[in-house]
Amino acid sequence: QVQLVQSGAEVKKPGASVKVSCKGSGYSFRNYAIQWVRQAPGQGLEWLGWIYAANGNTIYSRDLQGRIAITRDTSANIVYLEMSSLKSADTAVYYCARKHVARTYLDYWGQGTLVTVSS
Amino acid sequence: QSVLTQPPSVSGAPGQTVTISCTGSTSNIGAGYDVHWYQQLPGSVPKVVIYDNTHRPSGVPDRFSGSKSATSASLVITGLQAEDEADYYCHSFDSSLSGVIFGGGTKVTVL
């Protein structure tokens, strides 16, 4: 069965960087795009960016461009989200989600990774 | 402020019908981009309940339906049940932003 398993919770200080991983299994990793979405405590969903696993092409949210990087390791079926210059406003649950192969909706989600930014 | 506007909350008694609107513009819904709807139960991961404006994934009850017109879309829950109490988000693409967009979310309360 399709699974996206994310790395564990992180606590970071303001100004630091964080790297969250998302390992896919149960499907052909290269055939899909993975998107990252975050949710601050008590808030809605915010799209961060996506990567096409086949060629590594990425698209980022304009609000975060310059502070985030999404990469992938096709040999291990893992996608990474790295975010730099962290602020307290970046405290959120970060989700990876798979885009359906032929449509634009997100059909499978990771369990989420809580990133806490606090001094 | 979200590019897609949803009411913060709607409520209804069991068995009633509730409608959640998602209002966009000519650079997203009005440009022809598909709208999808996700349900997020308390403490859970979002799950798609409607994709491509009107389609229901297998396993989603047929009391969930979607529609799209001009620059807006709607999610309708007919015969509301207690287990439908959740947050609902619409999702589309915006050509001006060159990126994916979500509505701000609507909390559905079953009275």
Q: What is the pLDDT of residues A28-76, one digit of tens each?
A: 999 999 999 999 999 999 999 999 999 999 999 999 989 999 999 999 9
**Cα dist. A73→A13, A18, A23 in Å?**
27, 17, 10
Q: Name the percent of chain B in helix, strand, coil, to the closest 5.
A: 5, 50, 45
Of B33, B46, B48, the CB nearest to A45: B46
Residue among A1, A4, A36, A104 with most chain B CBs within 10 A, to mutate: A104
Tell me what pLDDT residue B106 has: 98
Residue among B34, B37, B45, B49 with most chain A CBs within 10 A, to mutate: B45
Tell me what pLDDT residue A76 has: 96
Chain A closest-CA separation from residue B42 CA (Å) = 11
Tell me what pLDDT residue B110 has: 96
Tell me what pLDDT residue B10 has: 98
- C-alpha B86/C-alpha B104 separation (Å) is 14
Tell me what pLDDT residue A65 has: 83
Residues A100, A103, A107, A108, CA torsion sign: positive
The stretch B58-86 carries a mean pLDDT of 97
Secondary structure in 3-state letters for A53-73: CCCCCEEECCCCCCCEEEEEE
Tell me what pLDDT residue B36 has: 98
Angle at B107 between CA B104 and CA B108, to 5 degrees: 140
State whether B34 and A112 contact (CB < 8 Å).
no
> Are the C-beta atoms of residues A12 and A117 closer than 8 Å to each other?
yes
Tell me what pLDDT residue B32 has: 95
Largest CA distance in chain A: 43
Chain A residues within an 8 Å CB radius of B104: 44
pLDDT above 80 (res B1) = no
pLDDT tens digits for range B8-65: 999 999 999 999 999 999 999 999 999 999 999 999 999 999 999 999 999 999 999 9
Chain A residues within an 8 Å CB radius of B57: 107
Arithmetic mean of pLDDT over chain A: 96
Tell me what pLDDT residue B2 has: 81
- C-alpha B32/C-alpha B111 separation (Å) is 36
